[in-house]
Amino acid sequence: MSEQVADIALIGLAVMGQNLILNMNDHGFVVCAYNRTTDKVKLFCENEAKGTNVIGAYSLEEMVGKLKLPRRVMLLVKAGAAVDAFIDKLLPLLSIGDIIIDGGNSEYHDTERRTIELEKKGILFVGCGVSGGEEGARYGPSLMPGGNVKAWPYIKPIFQKICAQSDGDPCCDWVGETGAGHFVKMVHNGIEYGDMQLVCEAYQLMRDGLGLGQDEMSKVFEEWNKHELDSYLIEITRDILKYKDDKGYLLERICDTAGQKGTGKWTAIAALEYGIPVTLIAESVFGRCLSALRNSRIEASNIIKRKRSTFKGDKNEFINHIRKALYASKIISYAQGFMLLQEAAKEHNWNLNYGGIALMWRGGCIIRSRFLGNIKQAFDKNPKLTNLLLDDFFSDAIINCDESLKTIVSTAANISIPIPAFYSALGFLDGFTTAKSSANLIQAQRDYFGAHTYEIIGQEGKFVHTNWTGRGGSVSSTTYDA
The reply to whether 282 and 405 lie within a common domain is yes
Q: Is the pLDDT of residue 479 over 60?
A: no
Q: Is the pLDDT of residue 371 over 60?
A: yes
Residues labelled catalytic: 185, 192
Q: Is the pLDDT of residue 482 over 70?
A: no
* 179 in a structural domain: no
Q: How far is CA 101 from the centre of its chain?
A: 20
The reply to whether 301 and 449 lie within a common domain is no
Peptide bond before 70: cis, by omega within 30 degrees of 0?
yes
The reply to whether 221 and 253 lie within a common domain is yes
Close Cβ partners of 447 (under 8 Å, ≥ 6 residues apart): 453, 454, 465, 466, 468, 476
Judged by average pLDDT, the poorest of 20-29, 44-53, 196-205, 368-377 is 368-377
Q: Summarize the confidence of residues 435-441 as an average pLDDT.
A: 96
Q: Summarize the confidence of residues 138-151 as an average pLDDT.
A: 96
CB 114 within 8 A of CB 140: no
The reply to whether 155 and 224 lie within a common domain is no
* 1 in a structural domain: no
Q: Summarize the confidence of residues 23-32 as an average pLDDT.
A: 98
Q: Which residues are annotated as a binding site?
A: 12-17, 35-37, 77-79, 105, 131-133, 188-189, 193, 261, 288, 446, 452
CB 247 within 8 A of CB 346: no
Q: Is the pLDDT of residue 18 over 70?
A: yes
The reply to whether 338 and 400 lie within a common domain is yes
Model confidence at 452, pLDDT cuts 50, 70, 90, reads very high
The domain boundary, picked from 142, 174, 206, lies at 174
CATH number assigned to the domain comprising residue 288: 1.10.1040.10
Per-residue pLDDT tens digits for 453-471: 999 999 999 999 999 988 8
SS3 per-residue string spanning the chain: CCCCCECEEEECCCHHHHHHHHHHHHCCCCEEEECCCHHHHHHHHHCCCCCCCCEECCCHHHHHHCECCCCEEEECCCCCHHHHHHHHHHHHHCCCCCEEEECCCCCHHHHHHHHHHHHHCCCEEEEEEEECHHHHHHHCCEEEEEECHHHHHHHHHHHHHHCCEECCEECECCCEECCHHHHHHHHHHHHHHHHHHHHHHHHHHHHHHCCCCHHHHHHHHHHHCCCCCCEHHHHHHHHHHHCEECCEECHHHCCCCCCCCCHHHHHHHHHHHHCCCCHHHHHHHHHHHHHCCHHHHHHHHHHCCCCCCCCCCCHHHHHHHHHHHHHHHHHHHHHHHHHHHHHHHHHHCCCCCHHHHHHHCCCCCCCCECCHHHHHHHHHHCCCCCCHHHCHHHHHHHHHHHHHHHHHHHHHHHCCCCCHHHHHHHHHHHHHCCCCCCHHHHHHHHHHHHCCCEECCCCCCCEECCCCCCCCCCCCCCCCCC
Q: Which residues are annotated as a binding site for substrate?
A: 105, 131-133, 188-189, 193, 261, 288, 446, 452
The reply to whether 269 and 379 lie within a common domain is yes
Average of per-residue pLDDT values in the chain: 94
Would you state the pLDDT for residue 309? 84
Per-residue pLDDT tens digits for 227-272: 999 999 999 999 999 999 999 999 999 999 887 767 789 999 999 9
Angle between helix axes 108-120 and 180-204 (nearest 10 degrees) is 170
The total number of residues shown for the chain amounts to 482
* 37 in a structural domain: yes
Q: Which residues are annotated as a binding site for NADP(+)?
A: 12-17, 35-37, 77-79, 105
Per-residue pLDDT tens digits for 309-367: 888 899 999 999 999 999 999 999 999 999 999 999 999 999 999 999 998 998 878 88
* 109 in a structural domain: yes
Q: Summarize the confidence of residues 434-455 as an average pLDDT.
A: 95
* 445 in a structural domain: yes
Rounded Cα distance, 155 and 415, in Å = 54
The reply to whether 292 and 413 lie within a common domain is yes
Judged by average pLDDT, the poorest of 2-6, 36-40, 290-294, 383-387 is 2-6
Q: What percent of the chain has pLDDT over 70?
A: 97
The reply to whether 49 and 153 lie within a common domain is yes
Would you state the pLDDT for residue 137? 94
The domain boundary, picked from 152, 174, 196, lies at 174
The reply to whether 243 and 384 lie within a common domain is yes
The reply to whether 275 and 132 lie within a common domain is no
Whole domain around residue 26: which residue ranges? 8-174
Would you state the pLDDT for residue 362? 84
Would you state the pLDDT for residue 471? 82
Domain total in the chain: 3
The reply to whether 268 and 144 lie within a common domain is no
The reply to whether 264 and 391 lie within a common domain is yes
* 3 in a structural domain: no
Rounded Cα distance, 208 and 403, in Å = 22
Would you state the pLDDT for residue 259? 76
Would you state the pLDDT for residue 333? 96
Q: Summarize the confidence of residues 32-49 as an average pLDDT.
A: 97
CATH number assigned to the domain comprising residue 61: 3.40.50.720
CATH number assigned to the domain comprising residue 460: 1.20.5.320
* 75 in a structural domain: yes
Model confidence at 61, pLDDT cuts 50, 70, 90, reads very high
The domain boundary, picked from 124, 144, 174, lies at 174
CB 193 within 8 A of CB 288: yes
* 367 in a structural domain: yes
Would you state the pLDDT for residue 133? 87
